Chain A
Amino acid sequence: MKRIGPTPAELLSAADDLLSEASDATAGRWPRAVAILCRQALEGSLHDFWRAKAPGVEGTPERAQLLCLRSYIAPDLAARAEHTWTALSRACHHHAYELSPAASELAGWLQTADELDRAVRDRLAR
């Protein structure tokens, strides 16, 4: 299956712009928008990886994909990616009584998503 949307790197850069630039249009709306973009980028990296390495895995639940990933890239990064994905899922679903994520949390998640994307590209390029 060919990618139809923007690349993970594009999504992450859009998220980064949202996080760092104040704009009246996005005032107060950006935290969850950033979380959404970040989550999509992270899932995008994951799907791209499996499509190239082991087609079919990209259709399984994301949690399973992330667990499998530990055998392919640095386990430490894989574990962090898993935590980040869980946190992003919470932020992107309407979760009980939780408010929008804070800027610092989002920055951390973006960082992890970016690292994961680079690691995946690196692994695929070999």
Chain B
Amino acid sequence: MDATLLRIVEERLDADGAGNHDWAMLVLAACEGPDALGTVLGGAAQKARELAAEAIAGAADPLDAYLRSITVEGFRGIGPARRLEVQPGPGLTLVIGRNGSGKSSFAEGLEILLTASNWRWRDRSVVWKQGWRNLHQPSPTSVSGEFAIEGQPGTTTITRRWTHGATLDAGDVQTKPAAELGWTAALETYRPFLSYSELGSMFDAGPTDLHDRLSSILGLGELEDAQRLLKDARLPREKQLAAAKKRLAPLLQRLTGLTDERAHLVHAALKGRTWDLNATAAVLARTDDADSSGAGLLRSLAMINAPSVEDTLSLTERIADVVARRAQISGTQAGEASLTASLLRQALLLHESHGDGDCPVCGRASAIDAGWREQAETRASELEAKAGQVRTLEREERMVLDAAARLLSDPPPMLNRAEEVGLDAAPLLEAWSAFADVPRDDLTSFADQLEVLIGPLAEAADKLKSAATEELARREDLWRPVAIELAAWLTEARAAQEAAAKVPDLTEAEKWLKTAAMGIRQERFAPIAEGAKTLWKTLSQNSSIELEDVVLEGTGPSRHVTLDVTIDGVEGAGLGVMSQGELNAIALSLFLPRVTLSESPFRFVVIDDPVQSMDPSRVDGLALALASVAKARQVLVFTHDDRLPEAVRRMNIDARVIEVTRRERSEVDLRPSLDPVARNLDDARALARTKELPDVVAQQVVPNFCRLAIEAAAIEVVRRRRIGGGISHAAVEDTLANAPKTTSKLALAIFDDINRGGDVARRVSQWGEQEADALGISTRGSHAGYRGSLEDLVRGTERLCRRLRELA
């Protein structure tokens, strides 16, 4: 961005108290260009200040330039090289030449020379692009401009040369290119060229286009570029976030369909406006799901420990064994046998120590002896064995009952929660409870019932276990693919979230810049609007149309220019009621002020044919307007007829006039144009003196030029007198058109009466003999030729013209 504009932006930011907020730095960076914006978005926010300071400090003011000459060769209407020289300084120069004389080739040549590499603001037709080489001399082709540049001694020359076959925009630029002079941006902003076609089309494209053309002068294009940069930075970020959102929607949908607890956790983390990406990542990172109650329950159910068929059968076997053994030793009392055995042992012990004797128990005499001893020892051993058997059996019975108690434990409480995970545990509960509740009083029927009930119980248990296992697998199958997609999405979402973090600042920066641009536009346009109003006043001599104000309004697609125009004091008059000439004049008023802006390096402006479709009174206004601009600027106007030069001469406006004529084969002649009287006298004098011209030609032609000089002097007198006296241009031209003869023109000039032609010769003879001779010879000799001294004739004519001009 232009350093001046950058400084304005920075000052406005500071005035708004934007400080070093990130968005403010984004504004600055966007104004500095794409690279700077990239740096600031990359995190180096404060770099924006440094860059701005550098740009402002480093910006050299563009060098003011005046045009010194334009040389054109083999281009458009010009064949052999011709050089158009102008005074390098403020002032008005008119280049006149008929259509097709080649004059516009100088204007176009200069424009191409400076801007061909920068062509985008112009839609040239293909025809134009192809027909740019001169027909008679297609090669060599070159355009060259000499400039007097402030602070640079001598002349700076820019030349563009086209090699054979090169296209228009492929011309080779030699010596200093416009870019090196710091003109590239300025050429677009302050474009010092205006052409009739451009002026004419100014209002055709509508108020939006007009707005853009006017605001391009303000250099606001750069502010728009900056806004575009911000927008271009914001949009992909928003898109990235939107894309992540879009991808999340179906994932969320799938998560709600899952009963997995992890799915619930992730869903909760992601369903809101702000995503908890860390929580999501934590869930995804979980390798086991022990904490997940649902899954834990399922896993427990899958491994449930119900009484097994094997255990039951081994129990019932042991029961049967105990029952059978008890039957064998039935009736045996373990205590009695054991006491009897111990009594016998006591008796044996007594016999051993005291010998044979009576029975200590029943007292039967001599009952204990050696025979008894033998029997008693056997019987004690038998009794002791029996008591042992009974005790073992009793122990086994206890053990069997313990085992039964263990086998017949109550169903675990988790079975009651099976519904939570969608399983039906009722059959198992029923079978299990029945199994556990079998009465144990009678071992045989107990075992029988166990054997009956264990079948359904084991079946129900297997069923539930496999159902739980299946559910676990199903859950895992649903979760895993979602988890994989979530992991991929998470990466994308993190990037999107990071990118989108800049969006609020970017939006804020854009918003601020938009508002600022409107303010800056208003500020910068004010002097131009003022200039346009002033110019229009000058241009619109005697017009009933007044330009009250020019306002640039709106933004975006609704941006437009409002021209506040009143006609005969009536407000709100549209452009529709204006003639093409008036529209051109308005366009000129709008666009001419830009060349007077002090920021423009161009001290020159080139205007190609602004006079077309203007009526004569407007041409007077144009001449005055151009003269006012020419006080401080070099104004170069190309025009196809003599109206503007005539107005300039009549109103004594200081101007140089150069006439362009084109011979056959595109040989173009340039020469300073004098006023018509001086030019004709000059022509007559030159031809009278030219030795190489055949006498016959000089004798025929010189009297004619003398007559033309006299007529021109007469017309000048008539115009000055009548237009100065308030008579309309049209009426004056009518009068002159009705005076085709030299004599009638002189009658108007001398007597202000077209009917006094008969008095003309006498009056002129009163002025002097030479004057009278000149009049006689030039009117007669213009048909038949003159054999006398041509130089005397020219001198006499000169005197006559001087006398005539004194009349006005």
A23 at the binding interface (Cβ < 8 Å): yes
Distance, CA A98 to CA B693, complexed state (A): 26
CB of B663, distance to nearest CB on chain A (Å): 5
Distance, CA A60 to CA B8, complexed state (A): 78
Which of A19, A92, A93 is close to B664, meaning CB atoms less than 8 Å apart?
A19
Q: A33-B697, A93-B708 are in contact. Are A23 and B692 (CB under 8 A)?
A: yes
CB of A49, distance to nearest CB on chain B (Å): 16
**B212-220, B535-543, B636-644 - the one binding chain A:** B636-644
Interface of A is mostly: helix
A126 at the binding interface (Cβ < 8 Å): no
CB of B464, distance to nearest CB on chain A (Å): 111
A93 contacts B711, C-beta separation under 8 Å: yes
Distance, CA A28 to CA B668, complexed state (A): 9
A101 contacts B98, C-beta separation under 8 Å: yes
Chain B residues 766-794 with CB under 8 Å of chain A are 782-785
B382-399 CB mask vs A (1 if < 8 Å, else 0) is 000000000000000000
Residues of B within 8 A of A6 (CB): 696, 700, 785
A1-39 CB mask vs B (1 if < 8 Å, else 0) is 000111000110010001110110111111111001100
Distance, CA A96 to CA B735, complexed state (A): 11
Residues of B within 8 A of A43 (CB): 783
Residues of A within 8 A of B643 (CB): 97
Distance, CA A40 to CA B783, complexed state (A): 6
Residues of B within 8 A of A27 (CB): 669, 671
B705 contacts A14, C-beta separation under 8 Å: no
Which of B642, B659, B782, B785 is close to A97, meaning CB atoms less than 8 Å apart?
B642
B697 contacts A14, C-beta separation under 8 Å: yes
A29-72 CB mask vs B (1 if < 8 Å, else 0) is 11111001100100100000000000000000000000000000
Chain B residues 598-633 with CB under 8 Å of chain A are none
A85-122 CB mask vs B (1 if < 8 Å, else 0) is 00001001110111111111001000000000000000
Q: A4-B784, A94-B708 are in contact. Are A25 and B692 (CB under 8 A)?
A: yes
Distance, CA A98 to CA B712, complexed state (A): 12
B699 at the binding interface (Cβ < 8 Å): yes
CB of B682, distance to nearest CB on chain A (Å): 8
Residues of B within 8 A of A19 (CB): 663-664
Residues of A within 8 A of B705 (CB): 32-33, 36
B307 at the binding interface (Cβ < 8 Å): no
B691-711 CB mask vs A (1 if < 8 Å, else 0) is 011101101110011001001
Q: Bin chain B's interface residue count.
A: 35 or more
B462 at the binding interface (Cβ < 8 Å): no
B690 contacts A26, C-beta separation under 8 Å: yes
Distance, CA A99 to CA B638, complexed state (A): 13
Residues of B within 8 A of A23 (CB): 692
CB of B718, distance to nearest CB on chain A (Å): 11
B676 contacts A93, C-beta separation under 8 Å: no
Residues of A within 8 A of B661 (CB): 28, 30-31, 100, 102-103
Which of B659, B671, B711, B782 is close to A94, meaning CB atoms less than 8 Å apart?
B711
Residues of A within 8 A of B692 (CB): 23, 25
B667 contacts A22, C-beta separation under 8 Å: yes
Nearest to A107 among chain B residues (CB) is B664
Q: A27-B671, A94-B708, A102-B101 are in contact. Are A5 and B659 (CB under 8 A)?
A: no
Residues of A within 8 A of B785 (CB): 4-6, 40
Q: A6-B696, A14-B696, A37-B697 are in contact. Are A32 and B667 (CB under 8 A)?
A: no
Residues of A within 8 A of B701 (CB): 33, 36-37
B664 contacts A103, C-beta separation under 8 Å: yes
B733 at the binding interface (Cβ < 8 Å): yes
Residues of A within 8 A of B99 (CB): 102
Distance, CA A14 to CA B698, complexed state (A): 10
Which of B659, B697, B742, B783 is close to A100, meaning CB atoms less than 8 Å apart?
B659
Distance, CA A32 to CA B661, complexed state (A): 11
Chain B residues 660-696 with CB under 8 Å of chain A are 661-664, 667, 669-671, 676, 680, 683, 686-687, 690, 692-694, 696
Distance, CA A97 to CA B640, complexed state (A): 9
Nearest to B646 among chain A residues (CB) is A97
Distance, CA A19 to CA B664, complexed state (A): 7
Distance, CA A30 to CA B659, complexed state (A): 13
Residues of B within 8 A of A92 (CB): 704, 708, 782
Residues of A within 8 A of B285 (CB): none
Distance, CA A23 to CA B690, complexed state (A): 11
A40 contacts B100, C-beta separation under 8 Å: no
B671 contacts A28, C-beta separation under 8 Å: yes
B74 at the binding interface (Cβ < 8 Å): no
Distance, CA A28 to CA B660, complexed state (A): 7
Nearest to B689 among chain A residues (CB) is A25
Nearest to B639 among chain A residues (CB) is A99
Residues of A within 8 A of B272 (CB): none
B557 at the binding interface (Cβ < 8 Å): no
Distance, CA A89 to CA B98, complexed state (A): 18
Nearest to A20 among chain B residues (CB) is B664
B694 contacts A14, C-beta separation under 8 Å: yes
CB of B695, distance to nearest CB on chain A (Å): 9
Distance, CA A101 to CA B99, complexed state (A): 10
CB of A98, distance to nearest CB on chain B (Å): 7
CB of A111, distance to nearest CB on chain B (Å): 13
CB of B355, distance to nearest CB on chain A (Å): 184
A96 contacts B737, C-beta separation under 8 Å: yes
Distance, CA A14 to CA B670, complexed state (A): 23
CB of A17, distance to nearest CB on chain B (Å): 8
A99 contacts B659, C-beta separation under 8 Å: yes
A99 contacts B97, C-beta separation under 8 Å: yes
B715 at the binding interface (Cβ < 8 Å): yes
CB of B670, distance to nearest CB on chain A (Å): 7
B481 at the binding interface (Cβ < 8 Å): no
Distance, CA A19 to CA B697, complexed state (A): 13
Residues of A within 8 A of B697 (CB): 11, 14, 18, 33, 37
Residues of B within 8 A of A30 (CB): 661, 663, 669
CB of B77, distance to nearest CB on chain A (Å): 11
CB of B759, distance to nearest CB on chain A (Å): 21
B700 contacts A103, C-beta separation under 8 Å: no
Nearest to A102 among chain B residues (CB) is B98
A25 contacts B686, C-beta separation under 8 Å: yes
A36 contacts B700, C-beta separation under 8 Å: yes
B576 at the binding interface (Cβ < 8 Å): no
Distance, CA A11 to CA B556, complexed state (A): 68
B740 at the binding interface (Cβ < 8 Å): yes
Residues of B within 8 A of A4 (CB): 784-785
Distance, CA A25 to CA B96, complexed state (A): 20
Chain B residues 93-133 with CB under 8 Å of chain A are 96-101
CB of A102, distance to nearest CB on chain B (Å): 5
Residues of B within 8 A of A99 (CB): 96-98, 101, 640-642, 659
Residues of A within 8 A of B669 (CB): 22, 27-28, 30
CB of A25, distance to nearest CB on chain B (Å): 4
Specify which of B96, B664, B690, B692 lies most central, judged by the most chain A CB atoms within 10 Å of its CB.
B664
B746-763 CB mask vs A (1 if < 8 Å, else 0) is 000000000000000000
Which of B641, B683, B696 is close to A98, meaning CB atoms less than 8 Å apart?
B641
CB of A103, distance to nearest CB on chain B (Å): 5
Distance, CA A94 to CA B697, complexed state (A): 20
B100 contacts A28, C-beta separation under 8 Å: no
Residues of A within 8 A of B97 (CB): 99
Distance, CA A92 to CA B706, complexed state (A): 11
Given A28-B670, A93-B708, 20 other A-B residues pairs in contact with their CB atoms under 8 A: A6-B785, A10-B696, A19-B663, A19-B664, A20-B663, A22-B669, A28-B661, A29-B683, A29-B686, A32-B705, A36-B705, A40-B783, A92-B782, A93-B742, A101-B98, A102-B98, A102-B100, A102-B661, A102-B662, A103-B663
Identify 5 residue pairs between A and B in the complex whose beta-carbon atoms are under 8 Å apart, listed by A's number: A5-B784, A6-B785, A36-B782, A96-B715, A100-B98
